[in-house]
Amino acid sequence: MMKLDLLLGSDIGSWALERVAIDQIEQVITLDEGLAERSRALGLRTILGNVNFVDYVPSQIGFSLHYSAILKPDLIRKYQKIFNLHPAGSPFTTRRVAAVCASTLTFTPATSCRRFTIR
């Protein structure tokens, strides 16, 4: 099974960390010390720092969920696929995303693509 890198930030990143199956995560990259501690407590390889400036081997797929640093083009090119979910700052959008995220996030392998599903 192909694993993914989770680039996480804020409460939404914490929410995702609790819902993505551990065996589907290659590593967690975050700027948030609390998220890094939770990730390490789950036994995950964890990088605390700006993903653009740390030395690491990316997996084939990246999923950025409310990660606060802007990903540089050179980094984006290192991934076969990379997805970004960063809700806008308006209270309406934030409430809507929180409502959508109330259930689960699953990483579902398919034969020709990888798909993230929020139910």
Domains and their CATH numbers in the chain: 4-118 (3.40.50.170)
pTM summary value: 0.74
Q: Which tens digit of pLDDT belongs to each residue from 95-110?
A: 444 434 333 344 443 3
Rounded to whole angstroms, the Cα distance separating 45 from 64 reads 16
Q: Which tens digit of pLDDT belongs to each residue from 43-73?
A: 999 999 999 999 999 999 999 999 999 999 9
Is pLDDT above 80 for 34?
yes
Long-range contacts of 30-38 (CB under 8 A, 24+ apart): 30/67, 31/67, 31/68, 31/69, 32/8, 35/8, 35/9, 38/14
Cα torsion angle, 51, 57, 74, 111, sign? negative
For tokens 């948030």, the residue is 32
Percent of the chain with pLDDT over 70: 71
What pLDDT does residue 85 have? 82
5, 65 Cβ separation under 8 angstroms: no
What pLDDT does residue 17 have? 92
